[in-house]
């Protein structure tokens, strides 16, 4: 007999809704918040943890397997019936009594033990276990990958992320409104505007402030400028996976051009500290149009180069295939989900984008090539939005802020935006102007399990290519 908790969540999933966030708080209450893509309405359910336990959803809702493991690691609540309760965030160096969000906030003394966690491996004749990372040869983040190989083929991949847990959610507890943006904006350098905007939306919602069009357009410009940067980077990395250095380096130079434009337009190469409640960094429409024109001049020839390269196109086809049913089952988001045919783009749920008529770009095959092409098209779409928004930006010098921060907003709200990596959600609880609980659920958190499934059956030499086609963020995941 399924409990009401399981029943509620399974029903939402069956109805085609998107899970925004599943998290707990110190008082022992779980909350699952769902979004109905047809009308943008949110529904949620609370469930009290009893005796430190709660019924696990993972068997009926595999996409929350990591959320529940995280809750187990950080709060100490036990999801009963979870099929795989190995530590996810927890390292053996934490004393067993240390619960970052459950007990004392003071960091304990680390234990002097090897940080190895049990890995899921295939056993049998001729199976090789290959461990890669957490330190890699390139400038990338820390992830430990345990491959089970048979010859050159991948049988199973076990990903061990969370190597650099920063405890952002613990850090934000009790913070004042002024202190939050600095931390939230630094959750991730690739999705920073999206994170900052989520916080701004939360405060504005709890203060009953509706942003005027002048402000929302500035934010749309920032969000799209960020998407262009992130997509340029991801597009640059994919050719590197097959040794196509010419396309790789040229795309990096286009990315550098864009970062210099961002520095000139908004004062920061990564767009840190550009959005706050009631405010967004403004720029002039003409300068923006000029920057986009320069980008188009550089991007056009590059696009012709990669689209006309038979070897490169062939190399991406049929590699790292994800099916639509897999994508839906694991609740994947962003480019990875759209490339397999899931037409969800959170921008359509945001009223700000109404005047720009965003169309989600989708693929069919769900392979590396589809993800590459979806990014190409989305980048062009973002450029189009930037050009459409530029003439509507206010000509007068920007106002310092559109509303004054109220002294003590209270309440709980779930806000989201479409970051370059997909649906980015913040579940924020404030009480008298201070943060009680801040939960960040970035898109890549849902996509990592999909990546692990997508590589099975592929040649191990193709893993870098597949990995780069997902280009998942570690930083957003390991907050």
Partner 1 sequence: MAVWTQVVGTATLFAGSPLLWGLTQKVKARLQGRRGSPVWQMYWVIVKNWRKETTVPEHSSWVFRIAPSVSMAALSTGLAMVPAGGAPPSGWPHDLLVVFFLLALERFWVGLAGMDSAGTFGGLGASRVTTLGTGIEPALLAAFGVLWQVSGHTAIAPLAQGLSDVPGGGLPWVMAASSFGLVLLAELGRLPVDNPDTHLELTMIHEATILEASGRLLSLWQWAMTLKLTLLLSLGWAILGPPWGSNPWVNLGLRCGELAATAVVLGWVESRFTKLRYLQLPTYTAVAAGVGVLALFLVAGGFGV
Q: Which residues bind partner 1 (CB under 8 A)?
A: 128-132, 137-138, 152, 239-246, 248-250, 253, 309, 311-312, 315, 459-464
Question: Which residue's CB is nearer to partner 1, number 212 or number 456?
Answer: 456
The whole-angstrom separation of Cα 269 and Cα 257 is 10
Q: Is the alpha carbon torsion for 95, 97, 101, 105 positive or negative?
A: negative
Q: Is the alpha carbon torsion for 140, 73, 411, 442 positive or negative?
A: positive
Question: Which residue's CB is nearer to partner 1, number 239 or number 422?
Answer: 239
Least distance from partner 1 to the Cβ atom of residue 365, Å: 17
Question: Any residues with CB less than 8 A from the CB of 304 and at least 6 apart, and which?
Answer: none
Paired tokens of 176? 């004042």
Least distance from partner 1 to the Cβ atom of residue 153, Å: 9
The residue written with tokens 């092409």 in the block is: 373
The whole-angstrom separation of Cα 128 and Cα 153 is 10
Paired tokens of 235? 């597009």
Number of H helices and number of E strands within the chain? 15, 13
Least distance from partner 1 to the Cβ atom of residue 2, Å: 42
Least distance from partner 1 to the Cβ atom of residue 131, Å: 7
Least distance from partner 1 to the Cβ atom of residue 151, Å: 8
Long-range contacts of 14-20 (CB under 8 A, 24+ apart): 17/43, 18/331, 18/344, 18/423, 19/61, 19/63, 19/64, 19/331, 20/414, 20/416, 20/423, 20/425, 20/427, 20/441
- Where b means 16+ CB within 10 Å and e means fewer, 398-424 reads beeebbebeeebeebbbbbbbbbbbbb
Question: Which residue's CB is nearer to partner 1, number 257 or number 403?
Answer: 257
> 413 pairs with which residues across the strands?
428
Least distance from partner 1 to the Cβ atom of residue 59, Å: 33
Question: Which residue's CB is nearer to partner 1, number 95 or number 151?
Answer: 151
- Where b means 16+ CB within 10 Å and e means fewer, 251-281 reads bbebbebbbebbeebbeebbbbbbbbbbbbb
The whole-angstrom separation of Cα 391 and Cα 348 is 22
DSSP secondary structure string, 439-479?
EEE-HHHHHHHHHHHHHTTSBGGGHHHHHHHH---HHHH--
> 423 pairs with which residues across the strands?
418
Question: Which residue's CB is nearer to partner 1, number 284 or number 313?
Answer: 313
Least distance from partner 1 to the Cβ atom of residue 299, Å: 14
Least distance from partner 1 to the Cβ atom of residue 372, Å: 13
Question: Which residue's CB is nearer to partner 1, number 29 or number 121?
Answer: 121
Q: Is the alpha carbon torsion for 324, 326, 329, 334 positive or negative?
A: negative
Least distance from partner 1 to the Cβ atom of residue 463, Å: 5
Least distance from partner 1 to the Cβ atom of residue 476, Å: 23
């Amino acid at each position: 007999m399924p409990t009401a908790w399981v029943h509620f969540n399974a029903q939402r999933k069956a109805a085609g809704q998107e899970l925004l966030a599943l998290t707990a708080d110190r008082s022992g209450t779980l909350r699952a918040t769902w979004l109905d893509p047809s009308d943008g309405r949110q529904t949620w359910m609370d469930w009290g943890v009893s005796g430190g336990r709660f019924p696990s959803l993972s068997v009926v809702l595999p996409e929350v397997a990591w959320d529940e493991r995280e809750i187990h690691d950080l709060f100490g609540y036990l999801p009963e019936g979870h099929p795989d309760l190995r530590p996810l965030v927890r390292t053996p160096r934490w004393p067993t009594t240390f619960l970052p969000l459950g007990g004392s906030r003071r960091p304990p003394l680390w234990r002097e033990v090897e940080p190895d966690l049990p890995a899921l491996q295939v056993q049998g004749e001729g199976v090789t276990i290959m461990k890669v990372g957490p330190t890699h040869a390139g400038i990338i983040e820390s992830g430990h990958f345990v491959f089970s190989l048979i010859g050159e083929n991948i049988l199973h991949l076990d990903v061990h992320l969370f190597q650099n847990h920063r405890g952002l959610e613990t850090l934000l507890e009790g913070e004042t409104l002024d202190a939050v943006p600095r931390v939230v904006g630094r959750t991730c350098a690739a999705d920073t505007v999206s994170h900052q905007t989520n916080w701004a939306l939360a405060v504005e919602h709890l203060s009953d402030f509706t942003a005027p069009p002048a402000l929302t357009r500035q934010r749309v410009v920032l969000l799209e400028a960020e998407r262009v940067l992130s997509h340029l980077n991801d597009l640059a990395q994919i050719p590197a996976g097959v040794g196509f250095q010419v396309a790789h380096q040229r795309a990096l130079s286009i990315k550098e051009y864009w970062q210099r434009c961002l520095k000139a337009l908004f004062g920061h190469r990564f767009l840190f500290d550009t959005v706050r409640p009631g405010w967004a960094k403004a720029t002039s429409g003409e300068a923006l149009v000029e920057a986009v024109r320069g980008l188009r001049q550089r991007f056009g020839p590059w696009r012709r180069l990669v689209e006309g390269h038979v070897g490169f196109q062939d190399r991406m086809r049929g590699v790292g295939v994800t099916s639509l049913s897999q994508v839906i089952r694991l609740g994947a988001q962003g480019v990875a989900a759209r490339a397999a045919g899931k037409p969800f783009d959170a921008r359509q749920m945001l009223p700000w984008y109404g005047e720009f008529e965003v169309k989600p770009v989708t693929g069919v095959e769900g392979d590396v090539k589809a993800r590459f092409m979806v990014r190409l098209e989305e980048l062009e779409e973002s450029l189009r939005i930037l050009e459409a928004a530029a003439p509507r930006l206010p000509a007068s010098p920007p106002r310092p802020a559109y509303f004054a921060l109220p002294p003590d907003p209270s309440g709980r709200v779930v806000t989201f935006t479409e970051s370059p990596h997909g649906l980015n959600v913040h579940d924020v609880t404030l009480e008298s102007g201070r943060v009680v609980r801040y939960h960040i659920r970035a898109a890549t958190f849902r996509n990592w399990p999909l990546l692990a499934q997508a590589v099975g059956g592929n040649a191990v030499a193709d893993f870098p290519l597949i990995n780069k086609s997902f280009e998942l963020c570690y930083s957003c995941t390991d907050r």
